[in-house]
Structure 1
Amino acid sequence: MQKQRPKHLDLPKIRLPIPGVVSILHRVSGAAMFLSIPFVICLLQGSLSSAEQFQTFKAVVGHPLIKVILLGLLWAFMHHAAAGVRFLFLDMHKGTELHTARATAKAVIFVSLVLTVIVGAILW
């Protein structure tokens, strides 16, 4: 008897392993940082141009929505850096065993969140 294949994928039921989630988040964080370059350059220019521009910069950065966006960019940087170090070790064939790969993927998520909270609390 042949097994009946599903006619559609039930996406909420598909579970990606944690190393796969870290890999996808690494790509997403890299894309987010790349796409935010004009925004960050505009903020940097506003903070360095003149005293009036600096006051405008402070008002813009003081807005809660902008703070959330900057916090998201901070997380993207921290995650991208931590995952990049993990991938460098994987490229050297270190930590490729299943248990180690899962542990390092969890460590990347934990470290990026903790560093985001620490640096965000300092800068907030």
Structure 2
Amino acid sequence: MAKPGDARPVFLDLFRIRFPIGAIASILHRASGVLLFLALPPLALGLEMSLRGEAQFEALRSLLPAPWRIVIGTILAWAATHHLLAGIRHLLMDVGVGSALGTARASARAVLAIALLAALFAAWRGLS
């Protein structure tokens, strides 16, 4: 319970908090893992359905219009790339490689940039 003389904030505005780049990469690593976990059952069912034959493959393609397939593919490409690279980053930092502040910030920026580039590449490939 807060005392009258406490200097703690009463109202916490979450949109005004500025996270360091490493925290953003770490939070997105967890979010991408959850996203990949939730996407696994529909992707496995889709793979199983597509391997039954050409008619089943076309039926699967007709479930989602092309723009939605591109959006979902782009998001999953980002999630897979980000989760892989951030996981490698965390493992290396656990053994002491790249744990200095400047190096950790640079590696977080690199993970975010490469994952974004992978997502843009997936979107471009989906459009062509």
Q: Common fold, TM-score beyond 0.5? A: yes
Tell me how far apart the structure 2 counterparts of residues 6 and 113 of structure 1 sit (CA, whole Å).
36
> Gaps (5+ residues) in structure 1?
none
Q: State, as a whole percentage, how many aligned pairs show the same letter.
A: 38
How many residue pairs get matched?
123
The offset of 1:66, in angstroms, is 3.1
> Gaps (5+ residues) in structure 2?
none
Partner letter of residue 28 of structure 1?
A
1:5-84 equivalence runs, <5 A: 5-84=8-87
Match of 1:121 in 2: 124
The offset of 1:117, in angstroms, is 2.2
Would you say the 8 A contact 1:61–1:67 is kept in 2? Answer: no
Select the residue among 87, 91, 101 that pairs with 1:88.
Answer: 91
The offset of 1:109, in angstroms, is 0.3
Normalising by structure 2, what TM-score? 0.85
Would you say the 8 A contact 2:73–2:122 is kept in 1? Answer: no
Tell me how far apart the structure 2 counterparts of residues 67 and 101 of structure 1 sit (CA, whole Å).
32
Runs of 4+ aligned structure 1 residues displaced above 4 Å come to: none
Match of 2:111 in 1: 108
RMSD: 1.7
